Amino acid sequence: MSRHGGVVRIDLRGEIDLCARPELAWAVARVRSGEVAVRVDMADVGFMDTSGVGFLWSLRERCRAVGAPLYLIGVGAQPRRLLDLVGFPVPGGLRA
């Protein structure tokens, strides 16, 4: 996780599953008021299960609470299918 000019960037890698939960919860907790935007780069995510969806949902709610749009960037085929399947809303955007 990094910050630059009020933009938070979270780079996810590998498999986003139950094992990644503690680190993901840490990232959600670090998003604070005054953030301009939150960008999650998922280009290096090959697999995501419902734990990953739960993380993104928590992050989305946190972003909503602090007034920062959430952007998902580099979303691959499997995570995109899962997000579509559960109807995950991304108000800020979803880019491949």
In whole numbers, what is the pLDDT of the chain averaged over residues?
Answer: 88
CA distances from 55 to 25, 31, 32, 78 (A): 7, 13, 16, 16
Amino acid 88: pLDDT:
86
Distance between CA atoms of residues 87 and 23, nearest Å = 24
The number of beta carbons lying within 10 Å of the beta carbon of residue 85 is: 9
Query: pLDDT class for 2, splitting at 50, 70, 90?
Result: confident
Q: Which pLDDT value is given to residue 96?
A: 45
For the chain, state the CA radius of gyration.
Answer: 12
Report whether 35 contacts 1 (CB < 8 A). no
Q: What is the pLDDT of residues 51-92, one digit of tens each?
A: 999 999 999 999 999 999 999 998 988 998 899 899 887 655
> Is it the case that residue 95 has pLDDT exceeding 60?
no
pLDDT at 1: 83
Residue whose token pair is 């972003």 = 63
SS3 64: helix
Report the distance separating Cα 68 and Cα 83, nearest Å. 20
